Structure 1
């Protein structure tokens, strides 16, 4: 009997893998994260969008309208350069950068929150896995979405794929998730199953908000996933252990409305490009002090419970 156990167990493992690959996303979440409720920020990404029988996505509407709220910085690879222009003043209120010490002082931090317009939702895993996602297969991708190579949509999609193919910083693991299941798998591989997801999913008005009392450190390691401009939901996820994640209580200056915002402080910036916008805005040098920034409303942040 013992001689037959290994083949039997192998077959059972294959059945489990195949079954999980075809599970609805909600069921996959419950199996993988049985003690973690699915937050609204994720449920909103699971609208029916199968692409079966042809494309059911209005690519122009989704890609061209995917503009992040201007109060939050768009995620940028720290290896890249971002030089502020005349219409983007070098101040923290517009770029979203600040120093960690500002969270523990009497410094007043004011922000003006607006909603984002990135409406892309997740495809089922089997469908997402069937669509190429690489620069060398880009003509095939354009054909799949009936797009011309010189179109504005194609240029945006190409940039997203190239961003996903950029090398990670030393000590930083990165991965572009094209389905909720792959996003879950990556996060678990870096933090384990005892995790929870937080986001800036609260609805906030157009008034200014001022930092209130009750700043909290949520975690000293995390997996942060940044939503990209693409026809369906794609998240650029990276696991950075030399960070501190904060929740910041903001209060509306007009009517006292309260809102909790998530921010990340990078403890070690020594490998960042010296011309990165954060250093220009904060007037500091790489590797000298922790650099913090608010996380966009579309971001998903995984932290240990």
Structure 2
């Protein structure tokens, strides 16, 4: 009887592993809605060439690469000077109806597609194997694209900061596995949604209805630049997530995800947030909005 049960388990695991990414999500997270931008990344995936056949893999679509970074990772005077009219950070106490701030909810110029796990597993993901990676994806060594690929891989290989659990998900399936490992299956996946095609920086006003959606057990996955869609996920115990309704000066409505970092005592004193807000590390919570290609995972309230 035990042997029969073992065979059934093995069969189920094998079947699940072979599921397309969207079906894998539904099998693992049946009660969790998929954010619109993730659905779009899945449906845009078209692979030209076969992985592992000694030829390069080409992913059709817009995969323009640029430096992989997060808006709250900048800490130079030059970067601060370049954004005088854009609010990247704000205080938790500012999250109230009527508060105004300038912002630009841009989408990344890198629209790289989510590929099935079986495809990305066929290609190495290591800074020690850059030559093979560049060959597989037909990227010229020494090019700007090659530099950015290397930067992303090194970002993933670096250890997390104190109190952070990090993971780079190279596929939707691996992201789902990380989330279920850290939070379980009773979760919500939230992302910022812009109701109109917002293309300019403008003044936004917070309207009624801001609410806390996650506390302590929160995982954030940032889409970073790579030849295919890749997410830098990290879990901390000192982050609170909010959904904040905004309306722009031109009428654009936004359902924005905001993160408030409650403990910034371990941050670099020269961090951009402290320069913008004129506060010291560990003194007050630091908040910021997330762009449309990030997903915040929180425990479901149902």
1:287: how far off?
1.2
1:45: how far off?
1.2
* Structure 1 unmatched runs, 5+: none
Asked whether the equivalents of residues 204 and 259 of structure 1 are also in contact (C-alpha less than 8 Å), the reply is: no
CA deviation digits over 1:35-82, x for unaligned, max 9?
1232322211112334543523258x5133x689xxxx82555xxx62
* 1:16 aligned partner: 12
User: Aligned equivalents of 2:15 and 2:285: distance in 1?
Assistant: 44
User: Aligned equivalents of 1:37 and 1:261: distance in 2?
Assistant: 17
Asked whether the equivalents of residues 88 and 94 of structure 1 are also in contact (C-alpha less than 8 Å), the reply is: no
* 2:235 aligned partner: 239
* 1:49 aligned partner: 46
CA deviation digits over 1:15-48, x for unaligned, max 9?
2222211111111111101112323222111123
3-state secondary structure, aligned to 1:45 = helix
3-state secondary structure, aligned to 2:153 = helix
Where does 1:46-125 land on structure 2 (aligned, <5 Å)?
46-47=42-43, 48-53=45-50, 54-57=56-59, 61-64=62-65, 74-75=70-71, 82-85=75-78, 88-89=81-82, 93-94=85-86, 96-104=88-96, 107-125=99-117
Asked whether the equivalents of residues 97 and 292 of structure 1 are also in contact (C-alpha less than 8 Å), the reply is: yes
User: Aligned equivalents of 1:292 and 1:121: distance in 2?
Assistant: 29
CA deviation digits over 1:218-255, x for unaligned, max 9?
1113111111111100000001221111111111223x
User: Aligned equivalents of 1:6 and 1:148: distance in 2?
Assistant: 54
3-state secondary structure, aligned to 2:256 = strand
Deviation larger for 130-139 or 6-15: 6-15
1:278: how far off?
1.1
* Structure 2 unmatched runs, 5+: 51-55
* 2:140 aligned partner: 148
* 1:288 aligned partner: 283
CA deviation digits over 1:171-229, x for unaligned, max 9?
21100000000011111111110111111132442353222222211111311111111
3-state secondary structure, aligned to 2:222 = strand
Asked whether the equivalents of residues 50 and 124 of structure 1 are also in contact (C-alpha less than 8 Å), the reply is: no
1:166: how far off?
1.4
* 2:207 aligned partner: 212
Asked whether the equivalents of residues 98 and 207 of structure 2 are also in contact (C-alpha less than 8 Å), the reply is: no
Pair 186,87 (structure 1): closer, same or farther in 2 beyond 3 Å: closer
RMSD between aligned residues: 2.4
User: Aligned equivalents of 2:142 and 2:116: distance in 1?
Assistant: 29
Q: TM-score, normalised by structure 2?
A: 0.87
Pair 198,166 (structure 1): closer, same or farther in 2 beyond 3 Å: same
CA deviation digits over 1:85-128, x for unaligned, max 9?
1773565x525111111114864323233333221111111011
Pair 114,228 (structure 1): closer, same or farther in 2 beyond 3 Å: closer
1:130: how far off?
1.4
How many residues align? The count is: 290
